[in-house]
């Protein structure tokens, strides 16, 4: 072969290492674990936990495209999640019947609304300074919550919308046993969501490593310079916002398919946004896989914190203030959040990566 540029040599080395490194097998193992969850832990609780970890991992990764890769903090990300959930719920549950075609239409409508809204939001708020973006998106997200609560004739208000799924996604669907586990509609939904999530995740990795993704990272690191080199930062940022929001919308629809309802508290609320933010920070900004670590950590904490509370109660039976504090798990999460931002600003994955890099370079120095 003819002369290779240093970049090409570097890329070839990377490609050769790709399928031999330890992290590659770790990723495969995690995927395998998700596939085997229904067989290893055949209870609804574990299945629910695994699915929530999955959806939130991908949601956080899509948030990471904005925050970690483009340097835009948006508080409206969960709003798009809610748009996905609501349009699927409206088309299947309230204004239609549970058929496959309605499901598909629901997703398409949601994607249409999201792309329009994301474009409007980005055109409006990217005109102003970066910090304004957080404030504007927070205002718009709050407005969406109020809209969903107040327009009770259309969205069902606080109670939201309950729906049942079409055909093979139906909870009561059953097609016999396989390896001692009943193949129910739940299980099929689980695998369907797993496949879509995997696809979205791979798509995001591809997006980040594309030339456009590199430009996004340049904008994050030094926006005036990226602009001076000649990139249209405004358009790149808009594309990044739209892409992240579209992924978020699809996930919202999937989440509604799994839980079977959509209400403001479960798909739109500020607590969900806080969860996503916390997962992002705990997992690590600027590492798509950080979402997985953060989501796993937080969802486990959600499901096992009640046990921890009882444990603390039995340990210190007299301290009433402590009990009151333990019951407010948001307090604990808030303190945890502040601690992580102060002491591990790179999160779990970021810190581990740093540690590995240091170990790798240490002997050669």
Partner 1 sequence: MAQTILKQWGSKLAIAGAIVLYLLPLLGMDFSTYMTLTIAGLAMGMMLFLVASGLSIIFGLMDVINFAHGVCFAYGAYVAFSVFKYLNAWVTADSVFLNFGIFFIAIVAAFIVVAVVGMVVERVLVRRVYGSHLFQILITFGGMVVLTELIRIIWGPNDEVMPKPVSFAGNWNIFDIIILKYPIYAIALGLIVYAVIQLILKKTKVGKIVRAGVENPEMVQAMGHNIFLIFTGVFAVGAGLAAVGGLTMAIFNLQVYPDMGGAYLIFAFIIVIIGGLGSVTGSLVGALIVGLSYNYVAYLLPSLAVGVNILIMVIILLIKPTGLFAAGK
Residues near partner 1, by CB under 8 A:
67, 71, 73, 124-125, 127-128, 130-132, 134-136, 138-140, 142-143, 146-147, 150-151, 270, 274, 277, 281, 321, 324-325, 328, 330-331, 333-335, 337-338, 341-342, 345
**Least gap, CB of 232 to partner 1 (angstroms):** 18
Contacts of 318 (CB under 8 A, 6+ apart): none
**Least gap, CB of 122 to partner 1 (angstroms):** 12
- Looking at beta carbons only, is 37 or 66 nearer to partner 1? 66
User: CA 313 → CA 232, 237, 308, 362, distances in Å?
Assistant: 57, 49, 9, 47
**Least gap, CB of 135 to partner 1 (angstroms):** 4
Q: Could you tell me which residues are beta bridge partners of residue 261?
A: 162
DSSP letter string over 269-334? Answer: -HHHHHHHHHHHHHH-TT-TTHHHHHHHHHHHHHHHHHHHHHHHHHHSTT-HHHHHHHH-HHHHHH
From CA 241, how far away is CA 215, in angstroms rounded? 14
Retrieve residue 145's tokens. 């919550």
Quick check: 27 and 198 in contact, CB under 8 A? no
- Looking at beta carbons only, is 112 or 334 nearer to partner 1? 334
- Looking at beta carbons only, is 22 or 318 nearer to partner 1? 318
From CA 159, how far away is CA 265, in angstroms rounded? 9
Q: Is the dihedral angle over the CA atoms 284, 288, 293, 299 positive or is it negative?
A: positive
Q: Is the dihedral angle over the CA atoms 265, 271, 275, 280 positive or is it negative?
A: positive
**Least gap, CB of 140 to partner 1 (angstroms):** 7
Q: Which residue has the tokens 């921890």?
A: 308
- Looking at beta carbons only, is 36 or 139 nearer to partner 1? 139
- Looking at beta carbons only, is 190 or 297 nearer to partner 1? 297
- Looking at beta carbons only, is 44 or 342 nearer to partner 1? 342
**Least gap, CB of 252 to partner 1 (angstroms):** 22
Nearest to 151 by CA among 74, 94, 81: 94
**Least gap, CB of 228 to partner 1 (angstroms):** 21
**Least gap, CB of 150 to partner 1 (angstroms):** 6
- Looking at beta carbons only, is 19 or 321 nearer to partner 1? 321
């Amino acid at each position: 072969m003819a002369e290779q540029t240093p970049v090409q040599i570097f890329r070839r080395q990377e490609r050769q290492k790709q399928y031999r490194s330890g992290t590659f097998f770790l990723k495969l193992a995690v995927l395998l674990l998700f596939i085997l969850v229904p067989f290893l832990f055949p209870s609804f609780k574990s299945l629910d936990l695994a699915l929530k970890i999955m959806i939130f991992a991908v949601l956080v990764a899509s948030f990471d495209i904005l925050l970690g890769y483009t340097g835009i903090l948006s508080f409206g990300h969960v709003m798009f999640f809610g748009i996905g959930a609501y349009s699927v719920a409206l088309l299947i549950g309230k204004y239609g019947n549970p058929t496959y075609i309605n499901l598909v239409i629901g997703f398409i409508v949601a994607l249409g609304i999201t792309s329009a809204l994301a474009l409007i939001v980005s055109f409006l708020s990217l005109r102003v300074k970066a910090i304004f973006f957080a404030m504007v998106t927070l205002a718009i997200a709050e407005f969406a919550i109020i809209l969903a609560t107040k327009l009770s004739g259309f969205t069902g208000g606080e109670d939201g919308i309950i729906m049942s799924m079409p055909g093979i996604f139906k909870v009561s669907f059953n097609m016999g046993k396989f390896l001692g586990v009943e193949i129910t509609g739940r299980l099929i939904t689980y695998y369907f969501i797993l496949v879509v999530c995997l696809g979205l995740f791979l798509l995001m990795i591809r997006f980040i490593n594309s030339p456009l993704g590199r430009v996004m990272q340049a904008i994050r690191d030094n926006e005036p310079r990226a602009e001076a080199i000649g990139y249209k930062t405004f358009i790149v940022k808009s594309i990044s916002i739209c892409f992240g929001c579209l992924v978020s919308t699809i996930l919202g629809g999937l989440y509604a398919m799994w839980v079977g309802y959509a209400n403001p508290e479960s798909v739109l609320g500020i607590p969900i946004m806080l969860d996503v933010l916390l997962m992002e920070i705990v997992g690590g900004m600027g590492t798509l896989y950080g979402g997985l670590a953060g989501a796993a950590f937080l969802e486990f904490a959600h499901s096992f914190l009640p046990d921890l509370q009882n444990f603390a109660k039995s340990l210190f039976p007299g301290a009433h203030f402590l009990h009151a504090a333990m019951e407010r798990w948001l307090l604990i999460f808030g303190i945890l959040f502040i601690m992580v931002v102060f002491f591990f600003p790179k999160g779990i994955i970021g810190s581990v990566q740093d540690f590995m890099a240091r170990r790798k370079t240490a002997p050669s120095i």
